[in-house]
Copies of this chain bind each other. A is one copy, B any other.
Amino acid sequence: MVDGAGGGEGLLFLTDEQLRKGIEAMFFAYRGFTADPDRILEGMDYGRAHHRAIHFIHRSPGTTVSNLLTILGVTKQSLNRVLRSLVEDGLVEARVGRADKRERHLYLTAKGAELERALSDAQRARMRAAYRAAGPAAVAGFRTVLEAMMDPEMRRQFQGLRDGGA
């Protein structure tokens, strides 16, 4: 740490300069964060939007389109385009709900799970390297600040999902 962020000073480390560095760190880090999956996806007909859909279907199998809409924060029309191509290509299966036939429950096929694994392996590898380099205490701080940065609604989503809810 070049500057005083890590010092033991009490409270007044929140200069505009400190905050600006945090902002830029988010910007550059997010680029790294998405770089590996983007590289895998390029050349296929898919993009980041497909990655996101696949990720959240994987982690909550059987979730509905509406659920996904809330989590991803896009319009249903936008999500639909992505979902349609994934279904057509046999990566995702959309089963009509038996309780409510309006709903589509989403599942990854074997092929979809395979792509999911390739994508998340790449992303996890970077995450793992960063975590290892930074150490457990830094990781805890990282997670704390990220949670504090979310919109309250998204934070609830995030925390709720952690306990494993579809």
Interface positions of A (Cβ within 8 A of B): 1-3, 5-9, 11, 13-14, 16, 18-33, 35, 52, 55, 59, 73, 120, 123-124, 126-151, 154-155, 157-159, 161-163
How many copies of this chain sit in the oligomeric assembly? 2
* B137 close to A29 (CB less than 8 A): no
Q: Which residue of the partner chain, among B7, B22, B123, B155, contacts A131 with CB atoms under 8 Å? A: B22
* B136 close to A139 (CB less than 8 A): no
* A26 close to B33 (CB less than 8 A): yes
* A29 close to B147 (CB less than 8 A): yes
Consensus secondary structure, chain A interface: helix
A28 to B139, CA, bound (A): 17
* B29 close to A144 (CB less than 8 A): no
Q: Which residue of the partner chain, among B31, B35, B145, contacts A130 with CB atoms under 8 Å? A: B145
A159 to B25, CA, bound (A): 10
A32 to B148, CA, bound (A): 10
A145 to B26, CA, bound (A): 10
Which residues of chain B come closer than 8 Å to A1, judged between CB atoms?
Answer: 140, 143-144
